[in-house]
Amino acid sequence: MNATLPRVLHGATGRPLSLAEHQATFAAPVRTSGLFEELEASGLTGRGGGAFPTSRKVSLLRNQRGHGKVVVVNAMEGEPEAHKDRTLLSTNPHLVLDGAEYLAAMIGAKTVAVCVPRDNQTVVHYLKRAIYERTLRTHKGPTFELHAAPWRYVAGEESALVHWLNDNESLPQYRASRTHVLRVGRGPALVDNAETCAHVALIGRFGAAWFREMGTATSPGSALVSLTGAVDRPKVLEVSLGTTLAAILDAGNADRRPQALLTGGYGGTWLAGNHLDVPYANETLGPVGAMVGTGVLVVLPRSGCGLLETKRVVDWMANESARQCGPCAFGLPALAEDLTHLLHARRDGPRVLARLIERCGVIEGRGACRHPDGVVRMVRSALSVFATDIERHAQGSMCEGAKADEHWVTVPSIVHEDELVWQ
């Protein structure tokens, strides 16, 4: 296997590879020593949104005493626009499980809990079959447990997922810092998302130097991108980090002259369409106010209304909150109400716009988890990127995109507790 793309999607055929096919596709010696050193040298960061160095997570868990350590594979993918974990598990599920085994070996865990949304029965079936195949091997690794949790936005947050494993409730837990150790039962838990595990598997096979043949010095390797919006069809691409946004749009048959991109998902940021020459990596996106985040890019054409799309997302995010504290229970619905007011260009628009800006400042940093901060971040980016249109709305002039009411961001509408309708 060489450095050319794809990597974690290598060998993808549109169906999940069996264990035998997987071993033939990723033929390489399985590393039995020096795993942590290679992981540390690789510079791999988490692909679930936080971009936390994977080796630091592992180091933290290696230093924990006691029995019952567990690796948690987080494939909940709460972002409605994200499809990368689903795509990966539908093609190379054993690569994800290999990575989880490597992580278990590094921290001394005997159990791997694989968590997927229960509404996606196809992926649940694929994983059941893959885990069963692994029970038939001569080599016995950690015990794999499959957990099908209810799908919600907050269910993918790692502390909420651990809370569900412990108490059957998807509620985020307050943590003063990322170095706070989560526990499943009494055992320390290492939580990594599915794509991160797949990269760990490849680093374990081919080493850190091979991994760094792609990407940038600060953001090495490749990454999966869920590309939606003004595209010929939604798709998942594997790109080398540092690839320009324009090249990603070209590869995905997307609008080449977009008004803006929503980067990083619902808790991410809007980026004006004149920044397409920026490389796709956190160190280059950050200075222009964008982010890799959950690996989502939503393309908004010039005919769309950024205020409308932002309002639709905030409506849904307010409903998806854990409602454990004031910023979620009261702050997010208030933001949604202000955005609705602005969208419909009522007479007191300037006052509402000023109130919206003030509320963002009141909400930020005061939640028990980072859910409200993500919403505020996205709203603030909209106020900047769509400033001209929003000012017109505030002055009583609704834009043509809002009048057309055409939607470019996929927002699920909750009909009742167990049924989702996609708009």
Model confidence pLDDT, tens digit, residues 109-124: 999 999 999 989 999 9
Does 231 share its domain with 362? Answer: no
Lowest mean pLDDT among 91-100, 373-382, 410-419: 410-419
Does 77 share its domain with 187? Answer: yes
Residue type, 373: D
- The answer, yes or no, to whether residue 389 has pLDDT greater than 60, is yes
Radius of gyration of the CA atoms of the chain, in A:
22
Instruction: Note whether residue 68 is domain-resident.
Output: yes
| Structural domain count of the chain | 3
CATH code where residue 403 lies: 1.20.1440.230
- Which pLDDT belongs to residue 422? 40
- Which pLDDT belongs to residue 176? 59
Q: Residue ranges of the alpha helices (H) in 53-185?
A: 54-62, 84-89, 93-107, 121-135, 158-167
Instruction: Note whether residue 2 is domain-resident.
Output: no
| Of the ranges 137-141, 177-181, 319-323, 419-423, the best mean pLDDT one | 137-141
Taking the model in full, what pTM does it have?
A: 0.93
CA-based torsion, 230, 232, 237, 243: positive or negative: negative
What is the extent of the structural domain holding 256? Answer: 222-300
CATH code where residue 232 lies: 3.10.20.600
- Which pLDDT belongs to residue 14? 85
Instruction: Note whether residue 99 is domain-resident.
Output: yes
Residue type, 280: Y
Instruction: Note whether residue 12 is domain-resident.
Output: no
pLDDT one-digit tens code per residue, 37-94: 999 999 999 998 888 999 999 999 998 887 899 999 999 998 899 999 999 999 999 9
CATH code where residue 163 lies: 3.40.50.11540
Query: Would you call 244 exposed, middle or buried from its count of C-beta atoms within 10 A (0-12, 13-18, 19+)?
Result: middle
- The answer, yes or no, to whether residue 366 has pLDDT greater than 80, is no
284-291, long-range: CB < 8 A, 24+ apart: 284/242, 289/381, 289/384, 290/261, 290/263, 290/264, 291/263, 291/264
Q: CB of 179 within 8 A of CB of 168?
A: no
Instruction: Note whether residue 10 is domain-resident.
Output: no
Lowest mean pLDDT among 9-23, 167-181, 231-245: 167-181
Q: Residue ranges of the alpha helices (H) in 242-346?
A: 245-251, 282-285, 306-320, 326, 332-343
- Which pLDDT belongs to residue 322? 66
Does 121 share its domain with 270? Answer: no
Does 34 share its domain with 116? Answer: yes
- The answer, yes or no, to whether residue 416 has pLDDT greater than 50, is no
pLDDT one-digit tens code per residue, 167-223: 988 777 765 555 678 999 999 999 999 999 999 999 999 999 999 999 999 999 999
- Which pLDDT belongs to residue 2? 67
> For the chain, first and last CA: distance in Å?
41
Mean pLDDT of the chain: 90
**Three-class DSSP category at 298:** strand
CA distance 52 to 55: 9
- Which pLDDT belongs to residue 347? 77
Average pLDDT over residues 149-160: 84
CA distance 278 to 125: 40
Residues in the chain: 423
Nearest CA among 250, 201, 252, 204 for reference residue 224: 252
Lowest mean pLDDT among 1-5, 120-124, 281-285, 329-333: 1-5
Does 289 share its domain with 312? Answer: no
Residue type, 288: V
- The answer, yes or no, to whether residue 418 has pLDDT greater than 70, is no
Please name every residue paired with 350 in a beta bridge, in sequence order, or none if there are none.
Answer: none
- Which pLDDT belongs to residue 27? 82
CA distance 245 to 249: 6
Contacts of 416 (CB under 8 A, 6+ apart): none
Instruction: Note whether residue 7 is domain-resident.
Output: no
